[in-house]
Amino acid sequence: APAPAPAPAPAEAPAAATTAAADGGEVGKSVYNKTCALCHSAGVAGAPKPGDKADWGPRIAQGDATLYKHAIEGFTGPDGGIMPPKGGNPALTDEQVHATVDWMLANSK
């Protein structure tokens, strides 16, 4: 009788997902502390502070894709607040920016 092939896949998937989530969280936190906290921790130029549900609510409602786009390309908000491209650090990769947005969202919902 053939061995059931589906059994190993489900066992591996959660482990891989957990590892990716843990790594993404650490990358996001590190990038936030080195680059983003300068403005976001103090609310400079209207930057939403992590953990401030009122600040983040309308932004979260726009969807992750919009938040990634604004964080990578830069954005001027309706209140005149400015998000510089990649937080002013062009050396960041898109993946690092995504991880940081994800980390900030996870701490702001």
pLDDT digits (tens, 9 = 90+) for 43-54: 998 899 999 999
Give the 3-state DSSP-derived string for the chain, with helices as H, strands as E and coil as C: CCCCCCCHHHHHHHHHHHHHHHHHHHHHHHHHHHHHHHHHCCCHHHCCCCCCHHHHHHHHHCCHHHHHHHHHHCEECCCCCEECHHHHCCCCCHHHHHHHHHHHHHCCC
pLDDT digits (tens, 9 = 90+) for 6-65: 544 444 333 333 334 444 589 999 999 999 999 999 999 889 999 999 999 999 999 999
